[in-house]
Amino acid sequence: MNQVKRVVIVGGTHGNELTGIYLVQKFDRAPELIARSTFETIALLANPKACEIGRRYVDIDLNRCFRQQDLDNPHLASYEAQRAKEIYRSFSSINTQQQNLIIDLHSTTSNMGLTFILASHHPFNLQLAAHLTSVYPHLKLLASPTNHQDSPLLRSISELGGTLEVGAVPQGVLDASLFQQTEQVIRTILDCVETYNQGTMPVATNPLTIYHSIRAIDYPRNENGEIEAMIHPQLQYKDYEALNPGDPMFLTFDGESVLYEGTATVYPIFINEAAYYEKGMAMCFTQKQIVSHGS
């Protein structure tokens, strides 16, 4: 692989996720914090208008605007659709013909801790992930099966890098501990890219535990589409923990448990994420895989 020429640290893809917004603003004020000698580093505020009004988005979710067919569609004229096209033109590895690495900063109301969502299974990403988990053993790794052409997510504009997701933190709130942890991971990623470009990237051989997204799970609903049950108290805040057949998933308003009826153990994430109520998503099921580096 050629050297990484540019790293783009993206905050404010969602205007009410303050960790990334305030980190980007900090890096704008003090660019020496993210400067390295072998590549350019850019701090990008992805959705300025949404950040100004403190909402997730203005018209539509920016992090659902990056499908290739949408980027190529001249009739999509919402603010976020236009902003996605601008970001793609400026920072897509395909468009710029250089190795760009994207770090898209997000926060979640779910108890996800520090999670790095791989943009792809590129060998560089796996080596980076192995290094990150050797430095931060509590950091979780998440992979999505969606390929780049079909993905609506901002991180899909480059196969290098991914999303750094932190929680639990309420929307519109700063959490100092998570802010500092996120900044520390960013600096570690930048240092790792620097050593890669210099040919001295540390070789981490620790096995990787990667959670693979399977499918989204909606809340139980009635014929009118109204929610009929809540996340069960025994499942709340249990992101990345095993959910076994017969375990309670939901609790109806009358106090009846709704059990998990699958046949295999899964590991739910994004449990009760506030932003996903509108998307019909109560949680996402994942499978856990332990792999040797490079396999």
Range of the domain at 132: 6-206
pLDDT of residue 140: 98
Q: What value does the mean pLDDT take over residues 167-180?
A: 98
User: What is the rounded distance in angstroms from the CA atom of residue 187 to the CA atom of residue 182?
Assistant: 9
Residues 174, 108 share a domain: yes
Residues 197, 120 share a domain: yes
Domain end call among 174, 206, 238:
206
Tens of pLDDT, residues 59-91: 999 999 999 999 999 999 999 999 999 999 999
Q: What value does the mean pLDDT take over residues 221-241?
A: 97
Say if residue 293's pLDDT is above 90: no
Is 160 within 8 Å of 178 (Cβ atoms)?
A: no
Residues 145, 131 share a domain: yes
Residues 198, 53 share a domain: yes
pLDDT of residue 96: 75
Does the residue 22 lie in any domain?
yes
- Give residue 150's identity as a one-letter amino acid code: D
- Give residue 6's identity as a one-letter amino acid code: R
Does the residue 220 lie in any domain?
yes
Read off the pLDDT band of 19 (50, 70, 90): very high
Does the residue 1 lie in any domain?
no
Read off the pLDDT band of 8 (50, 70, 90): very high
Residues 277, 159 share a domain: no
Q: What value does the mean pLDDT take over residues 286-293?
A: 88
Is the omega angle on the peptide bond into residue 77 within 30 degrees of 0, that is, cis?
Answer: no
Q: Regarding predicted confidence, which is higher, 138 or 1?
A: 138
Residues 239, 170 share a domain: no
Q: What value does the mean pLDDT take over residues 94-119?
A: 93
Residues 199, 224 share a domain: no
Query: Pick from 95, 65, 70: which is nearest to 80 by CA?
Result: 65
Does the residue 105 lie in any domain?
yes
Sign of the CA dihedral with 26 first, then 32, 33, and 38 last: positive
User: What is the rounded distance in angstroms from the CA atom of residue 274 to the CA atom of residue 242?
Assistant: 22
Pairing of strands 40-45, 6-11: parallel
- Give residue 162's identity as a one-letter amino acid code: G
Read off the pLDDT band of 98 (50, 70, 90): confident
123 class by beta-carbon count within 10 Å (0-12 exposed, 13-18 middle, 19+ buried)? exposed
Domain end call among 150, 177, 206:
206
Read off the pLDDT band of 93 (50, 70, 90): confident
Residues 132, 60 share a domain: yes
Read off the pLDDT band of 295 (50, 70, 90): very low
Does the residue 157 lie in any domain?
yes
pLDDT of residue 147: 60
Read off the pLDDT band of 1 (50, 70, 90): confident
Residues 158, 53 share a domain: yes
Q: What value does the mean pLDDT take over residues 36-46?
A: 98
What is the 8-class DSSP label of residue 101?
Answer: E
Summary mean pLDDT of the chain: 95
Read off the pLDDT band of 246 (50, 70, 90): very high
Does the residue 140 lie in any domain?
yes
Residues 217, 190 share a domain: no
Tens of pLDDT, residues 185-221: 999 999 999 999 999 998 888 889 999 999 999 999 9
Residues 119, 250 share a domain: no
Picking from 75-79, 144-148, 279-283, which range would have the lowest pLDDT averaged per residue?
144-148
Read off the pLDDT band of 148 (50, 70, 90): low
Does the residue 287 lie in any domain?
yes
Count of domains observed in the chain = 2
Tell me phi and psi for residue 85, to 5 degrees. -65, -40
User: What is the rounded distance in angstroms from the CA atom of residue 283 to the CA atom of residue 276?
Assistant: 8
Q: What is the CATH number of the domain that holds 41?
A: 3.40.630.10
pLDDT of residue 3: 93
Say if residue 128's pLDDT is above 60: yes
